[in-house]
């Protein structure tokens, strides 16, 4: 499950809607991604229920975000970012690791990456695609350098300015998919949702890196 969380975090790290110097991005893709970025940034918080699929696994997860803070739960693993540190919690192993975020621990929050416009990918509008009865715009991202990824497909509900589905194909032809089942915005969430309380994990092995 730890590997699944790491791959999922990487997939959402790619879901940055990033572009910049050295990239090629067509006008239609830029317009779509800018609108999605503005939409998510305008919300005080977001909730996502999603399915993460690989070749032989399908796991349902939930995700809350507020500003740069978030809480992710998938199966027996939780990940919390309180704005300062990342807490990985495994109830199966009764282990917790605490670390400061860096380039190797990509934050899950879609909002963080929507706000990060960096170079690294060419971005191309492919066209309209039907995803479970929903008309979406398909935007393809191709890395400029070898980073182990062949391409990323973003399926966007342009009318609602929301991400519907993400596909990440690796160089060794492994496909990871995130399908967003439900999105809720601007809920009344307690600040404690995004905090780590050590007293709740008395019998856990806690390691701070």
Residue in 64, 82, 9 with CA at minimum distance from that of residue 182: 64
Q: How high is the pLDDT of residue 6?
A: 55
Domain range for 76 is: 2-208
Tally the domains of the chain: 1
Sequential pLDDT tens for the chain (209 residues): 555 555 555 555 444 444 454 568 888 988 888 888 888 888 999 999 989 888 888 989 899 988 888 899 988 889 999 989 999 999 999 999 999 876 555 444 444 444 433 456 788 999 999 998 999 999 998 888 787 889 889 899 989 999 898 888 988 998 988 888 999 999 999 999 999 999 999 999 999 98
H-only helix segments in 100-172: 110-114
Q: How high is the pLDDT of residue 123?
A: 86
Rounded to whole angstroms, the Cα distance separating 102 from 149 reads 20
Q: How high is the pLDDT of residue 95?
A: 96
Q: Which residues contact 54 (CB under 8 A, 6 or more apart)?
A: 4, 7, 174, 175, 176, 177
Cross-strand bridge partners of residue 89: 78, 96
Q: What CATH number should be reported for the domain holding residue 116?
A: 2.50.20.10
Q: How high is the pLDDT of residue 118?
A: 46
DSSP structure string for 62-80:
EEEEETTEEEEEETTEEEE
Looking up tokens 């305008």 gives 42
In this prediction the pTM is 0.78
């Amino acid at each position: 499950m730890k590997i699944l969380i790491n791959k999922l975090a990487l997939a959402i790290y790619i879901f940055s809607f990033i572009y910049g110097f050295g990239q090629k991005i067509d006008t239609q893709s830029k317009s779509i991604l800018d609108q999605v970025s503005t939409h998510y940034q305008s919300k005080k918080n977001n909730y996502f229920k999603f399915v993460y699929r690989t070749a032989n696994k399908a796991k349902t997860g939930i995700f809350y975000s507020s500003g740069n803070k978030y809480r992710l739960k998938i199966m027996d693993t939780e990940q919390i970012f309180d704005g300062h540190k990342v807490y990985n919690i495994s109830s199966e192993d009764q282990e917790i690791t605490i670390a400061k975020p860096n380039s190797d621990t990509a934050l899950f929050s879609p909002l963080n990456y929507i706000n990060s416009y960096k170079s690294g990918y060419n971005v191309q509008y492919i066209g309209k695609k039907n995803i479970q009865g929903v008309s979406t715009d398909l935007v393809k991202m191709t890395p400029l350098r070898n980073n182990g990824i062949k391409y990323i497909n973003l399926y966007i509900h342009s009318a609602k300015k929301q991400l519907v589905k993400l596909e990440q194909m690796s160089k060794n032809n492994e496909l990871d998919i995130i399908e967003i089942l439900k999105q809720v915005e601007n809920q009344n969430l307690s600040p404690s949702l995004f905090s780590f309380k050590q007293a709740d994990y008395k019998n856990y092995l806690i390691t701070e890196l």
